[in-house]
Structure 1
Amino acid sequence: MALQKHLLNDPDTLVVDSLAGLCAVNNQLAFDPPNKVVYKAGLDRSKVALICGGGSGHEPSHAGFVGEGMLSAAVCGNVFASPNPSQVRRGIDLVENDAGTLILVKNYTGDVLNFGLAAEQYAAEHAAKSDKVKFIVVGDDVAVGKTQGGMVGRRGLAGVVLVYKIAGALAAQGGSLDEVYNVAQYVSGRIGTIGVGLEHCHVPGTAAPSHSISATEIEIGLGIHNEAGNKRISPIPPLKELIPSLLDYITSTTDAERSFLPFKHDGKDEVVLLVNNLGGMSELELGGVVRATRDELATRKIVLSRIISGTIMTSLNMPGFSLSLLLLPRADDANAPKASAILSLLDAPAQAPGWKWSSGAAPITPTPLAPAPKPNAKRSADANSVVSAPNPAEFVAALERVCAALIAAEPEITRMDTIAGDGDCGLTLKGGAQAVQKEIAAKNIAGMDLVGDALVIAKVAETEMGGTSGALYSIFFSALAQGVQAAGVGKSSTATPELWGTALTSALNKLYTYTRARPPSRTLVDPLAAFVEAYGSGFSAAVKAASDAAEHTKDVDAKAGRSAYVDSAMLKSERVTDPGAWGVKIILEAI
């Protein structure tokens, strides 16, 4: 279900509170609270003014784009509700000027009617200036086909912000009303946008939604007001499969329902890409979307001239993103602006907090990277100083059991770590286990050279696990390799319980050199130390001691590690063991 908790004073004052906060951040703005109009305080009335607006809940759209080089004013309604004509009329009056006003609205019925009515009222009352107010409706959604859209046309989505930026830059440079109108009209007809979400959003102050997207589904084509999309896909595909299908919606010239843009697919199509966070997506994931889209456009031989990425037009806290492509004109396109001119306007500086930084240049074309040389984890040693397992097949089978057990335990360890730490321990151990499986499959771990095997595992911990756990495991196994090697110097031998005991004690002491954790500390050191110290009593007894120590961490005050920063009373009330300690328990029990 969508997140239904919000931090606010009152749902009824949220929009005004938010706009007041925006104006505190940007002191070039002025605010008319009764009409929810944000506008430039020091307006140059010799230049064309641009007004936009619509329902709130799409921040930074629309008010976040008011500023020098972009919009002159934004008229804001309540969440997902169009402002009324009186509000819009107030906005027009606040930016009244000598050069004229261009009103830009997304294609939603309420916005078109209310902004249109205000424009007509202004023209009726100012006959001498009736030609000084122009109106453009922008629709860039490609999810809704031509038949379904009928006379209504395409919905307005994040692509409209590209129109704000290009038209706003031209107005700031002194373009006439006709010039600004013409470039805005041209650009608005060359944009396609498709959205995709993992879940719908929740409007503050409303009841919980009755519909939901399941945990295994993704919805394509959903609108920015919680409108359902046109398709759900399950299971959720990887980006390398999802992105091509999304781009098909925008670039197709064979789909009679969605051939909105005149792509020619001859290697000369040139586009601007806008990757938009719909509100609840992490920057980490958004970067992956950018990379996947860039690579897919390169595969299609579509020239990518600019990338703009960030939170542009949201649907409150919706976890999802949208892709917009602006198809630039070709050199031989009749009655079209130059592509270089459009890019210049896009690159022009804008003092608007919602506009995202861009490089002002085409992105680097992806090229295949040469594979990095694989580090040789095996040590250089005298061929006569090899220590092997008594039964190499059993040794490898034990490691395979360990890997399978860690992978199976990932959900439970992750649950523990979301309470006791930062939530990544389960995935860290799973990643290490999967990497060890690959090394076993490649026969880099075979039980014939235990020193080399330990070093391979140490390298896996270092490179595939990362973080604190990866470092601890890597140090321990590197030290274990040293201990085994020291016991086998000058001879070829088979590992004995005594050799293992000596090597384990040496490895634990070496680990203590780099961590202050000592049992009981509520860390992985607790079961590890218990195992090593009880090893002389036999392997089974040592495993039992380690398991007991791991279980006991639920009653131990954290002195080190991830849990040291978590409220100890909460940990004890939750009765959750330390995730890292639980991982050691699983490893030893699997062996």
Structure 2
Amino acid sequence: MGVQSKHFLNDPASLVVQSLQGLCAINPKLGLDTTNKVVFLADQEKSTVALVCGGGSGHEPSHAGFVGSGMLTAAVCGNVFASPGPTQVRRAIQLVDNDKGTLIIVKNYTGDVLNFGLAKEQFAAQHPSEADKVKFLVVGDDVAVGRTQGNIVGRRGLAGTVLVYKIAGALAQTGASLEEVYSVAEWVSKNIATVGVGLEHCHVPGTTAGETHLGASEIEIGMGIHNESGAQRVSPVPPLNELVQTLLDLLLSQNDPERGFLPTQGSGKDNVVLLVNNLGGVSELELAGIAREVVTALVGRGVSVQRLISGTFMTSLNMPGFSLTLLLLPSASDVTPPSDLILRLLDASTSAPGWKWTSGAAPSAPSAPPAVLPSERAADQGQRVRAQDVRGFERSVERACDALDKAEPEITKMDTVSGDGDCGLTLQTGANAVLALLRAGSISGEDVVGALIAVSEVASEKMGGTSGALYSIFFSALAQALSSSGAGEATAEDWSRAVSAAREQLYTYTRARPPSRTLVDPLAAFADAFSAGPSDLGNAVRRAAEAAEATRDAEARVGRSAYLEGGLLKRERVPDPGAWGVKVLLEALAGADSV
């Protein structure tokens, strides 16, 4: 996969400052020293400990997004992936001057440690009477860096740092002393572990468009948040449940001499806070699935998740990846800090815009649906209609399912141009579900009405979306028409009348009329030809195929294609994917056997 290298900006050189200005516009309670790129609480409470953090930009909402009451007091921002200088940091210390003292928290990266540390020492030299009012904490939580490799430099600071911000900031809000805030923050920093995984590296705005770092079937485990390579590459991309187990091994294993950073006890005695962090390019859809998978895996290992926090906290620009952080809570024998205090501080409210909503409770374990669902009112037993050729009907259904399954890549390619790229997969999903019912004996030529109702239910429940609804309405109407025909055995004439009736019923729910560049075009052409000549199914199928082909040049009047730039469809001459699906379906249904 390629690196996404396009961005929305005016000028890479002004991006950081303009982003900080935007943040302050969103939250008027924030102030901004533009020259030093320091975001701070404009109305700071002078009787509480101040928290200062920072580092390179590109990790938003870290760090400035966590400035707010109950969290950080100021954040110092460097350029993208570059540490701010000591002058900037000294300015932040001055801006948060207060009666209780200041705690500086930085991630364990050389530039951050040196520049923030230098600023602290310079401040102490300039203000010796206040030297003991500024403390310094370095957080390193990356388990991808083993003990041997990190023997001198230590572990890198990753998303676990955000939990330190939150807990320390909430404690400071209670009026705790600098020593108390530092002590709890230090304890948290020693009991967190993080590991990240990415599908690809990210792109820094203003730099040359990068080439792909990973192959199409590769992922990288242990990537840093500045495009540093990971500890290992894995190919092919494993299923999520397998990947999560690998990541949890790195976080929890006590058998790996290079790791085991969390002193877990096992045997169901461990309680944790879980942070699922989006590194920048993962969809919310996937992130919730990841959260579910991790909770399931931890429960399976006998680890109790006391809090689940999921969202975008510390990114690597647009990196398509995520990280998992575990904070191991104190055991029952610990007295300082108690577990309930840590949880209360995590649950405490904050005005920091970057902190996401959390439930304030332990997550419920993902569960399977109940074995017995509330029953629906039984369907009326209407007229039972048999196919004239029972086996021929069933073979036709099987051919249609196979054809739609094989046509998925072609239809998907069409839909990437004229739609949202899911048409082929939607039809494939429906076809495979129908095929499973056929092979289970739930669809039979002995009861074509029941078969059509089953197909209608598959379309609505398995396919979904617009095409699923249209197919469901059509097949349901087809079943109604055949059931009310009074025929014990469906003839070609019965089928033709039912198809025409189903089309008219479909028209009550869609404005599409041929030519519309939708699946209605071939469906209507088929119904017209079949009604005119029920004995010539082949001719009706040919008319439908011609109508599907004609959508290459038809103007899009309804559906998603209607919102596209008209010239695009004319240049590409791609047929409507929904219409093409109907063509594939009808040609396969007809085949060598008659319905």
TM-score in same-fold range (> 0.5): yes
Letter of the 2:241 partner, please give it: K
User: Contact 2:108/2:139 (CA < 8 Å) preserved in 1?
Assistant: yes
**Where does residue 516 of structure 2 map in the other structure?**
521
- Distance in 1, matches of 2:213 and 2:5, equals 12
Mapped pair 1:414 → 2:412: yes
CA drift of 1:237 comes to 2.0
- Give aligned pairs, total: 585
Match of 2:169 in 1: 168
Task: From the superposition, tell whether residues 137 and 187 of structure 1 become closer, same or farther in structure 2 (CA, over 3 Å).
Answer: same
Residue of structure 1 equivalent to 2:572: 574
> Structure 1 CA distance, aligned partners of 2:43 and 2:378?
69
| DSSP 3-state at the match of 2:551 | helix
Who is 1:35 aligned against?
Answer: 36
**1:311-350 matches, cutoff 5 A:** 311-333=312-334, 336-350=336-350
CA contact (8 A) 1:378 1:453 kept: no
* Distance (Å, rounded) in 1 between the aligned partners of 2:376 and 2:399: 25
State the partner residue of 2:586.
588
Within-5 A mapping of 1:341-490: 341-371=341-371, 373=373, 380-381=380-381, 385-489=383-487
Residue identity (%): 62
Q: Which moved more, 1:532-541 or 1:430-439?
A: 532-541
- Aligned pairs for 1:124-139 (under 5 A) are 124-139=125-140
Deviations 1:93-138 (A, max 9, x none): 2112221111100011111111111111111221111111111110
CA 346–379 in structure 1, closer or farther in 2 if over 3 Å, else same: closer
Q: Is the 8 A contact 1:388 1:449 kept in 2?
A: yes
Q: Mapping of 1:40-189 within 5 angstroms?
A: 40-189=41-190
Aligned to 2:543: 545
Q: Distance in 1 between matches of 2:476 and 2:73?
A: 63
2:498 corresponds to 1:500: no
Shift of 1:386: 3.5
1:564 Cα deviation after fit: 2.2
- For the residue of structure 2 that corresponds to 1:75, the secondary structure is strand
Whether the 8 Å contact between 2:57 and 2:77 is mirrored in structure 1 is: yes
Deviations 1:149-186 (A, max 9, x none): 22111110001000000001111111111000000000
| Structure 1 runs, 4 residues or longer, greater than 4 Å off | 372-380
1:570 offset after TM fit, Å? 2.3
Cα distance in structure 1, aligned partners of 2:369 and 2:477? 34
Q: Is the 8 A contact 1:49 1:171 kept in 2?
A: yes
Q: Deviations over 1:529-584 (max 9, x none)?
A: 11111124412211111111011112112222222222223222221211111110
**Secondary structure of residue in 2 paired with 1:569:** helix
Q: Between 286-295 and 161-170, report the one with greater CA deviation.
A: 286-295
Partner Cα distance (2:358, 2:547) in 1: 53
After superposition, what is the alpha-carbon deviation per residue over 1:476-495, rounded to whole angstroms, capped at 9, x for unaligned?
Answer: 11111122223344xx43x3
CA distance in 2, matches of 1:275, 1:472: 38
Q: Is the 8 A contact 1:107 1:139 kept in 2?
A: yes
- 1:195-251: CA deviations, max 9, x gaps? 111111100011122442222222111111111111222222222222122111111
Q: 1:378 to 1:358 in 2, by over 3 A?
A: closer
Q: Distance in 1 between matches of 2:561 and 2:375?
A: 34
Question: For residues 186-205 of structure 1, what are the structure 2 equivalents within 5 Å?
Answer: 186-205=187-206
CA distance in 1 between partners of 2:519 and 2:367 (Å): 42
Q: Matches of 1:216 and 1:447 in 2, distance apart?
A: 43
Q: Distance in 1 between matches of 2:328 and 2:439?
A: 48
TM-score normalised to structure 2 length:
0.95
Cα shift at 1:377: 12
- The one-letter code matched in structure 2 to 1:26 is N
Offset of residue 496 of structure 1: 2.4
Q: Quick one: distance in 2 between partners of 1:580 and 1:253? A: 54
Residues 1:509 and 2:504 aligned together: yes
| Structure 2, unpaired ranges of 5+ | 590-595
Tell me the CA shift for residue 423 of structure 1. Answer: 2.5
Higher mean Cα deviation, 130-139 or 499-508? 499-508
Q: In 1, Cα distance between the equivalents of 2:510 and 2:94?
A: 67
Q: Distance in 2 between matches of 1:540 and 1:49?
A: 80
After TM superposition, list the pairs within 5 Å mapping 1:259-278 onto structure 2. 259-278=260-279
Q: 1:249 to 1:64 in 2, by over 3 A?
A: same
Counterpart of 1:544, as a letter, is R
Give the C-alpha shift of residue 374 in structure 1. 9.8
Quote the Cα distance in structure 1 between the aligned partners of 2:376 and 2:493: 29
Secondary structure, counterpart of 2:210 in structure 1? coil
CA deviation profile, 1:405-431 (whole Å, cap 9, x unmatched): 222222322222232223222221111
Tell me the residue number matched to 1:280: 281
Tell me the C-alpha RMSD between the 2 structures. Answer: 1.7
Deviation, structure 1 residue 311:
0.7
Q: Which runs of 5+ in 1 are unaligned?
A: none
Pick which of 288-297 and 228-237 moved more.
Answer: 228-237
- In structure 1, the partner of 2:4 is 3
Q: Which amino acid aligns with 1:351?
A: S
Compared CA separation, residues 371 and 565, structure 1 to 2 (3 A): farther
TM-score normalised according to structure 1 size = 0.96
Judge which range, 502-511 or 58-67, deviates more: 502-511
Range moving further from structure 2, 522-531 or 413-422: 413-422
Mean CA deviation greater in 94-103 or 184-193: 94-103
Structure 1's 556 and 458: CA in aligned 2 closer, same or farther, altered over 3 A?
Answer: same
- The answer to whether the Cα contact below 8 Å between 2:292 and 2:366 also exists between their aligned partners in 1 is no
SS in 2 for 1:20: helix
Aligned to 1:561: 559
User: SS at the partner of 1:276?
Assistant: strand
Q: What is the Cα deviation at residue 20 of structure 1?
A: 0.7
Counterpart residue identity of residue 584, structure 2: I
User: For the Cα contact (< 8 Å) 1:379–1:452, is it kept in 2?
Assistant: no
| 2:592 corresponds to | none
**Paired amino acid for 1:344:** R
SS of the residue 1:404 aligns to: helix
Alpha-carbon spacing, 1:376–1:396, altered in 2? closer, same or farther (3 Å): farther
Q: Which moved more, 1:402-411 or 1:10-19?
A: 402-411
User: What is the CA–CA distance in structure 1 between the aligned matches of 2:90 and 2:443, rounded to whole Å?
Assistant: 75
Q: For the Cα contact (< 8 Å) 1:89–1:119, is it kept in 2?
A: yes
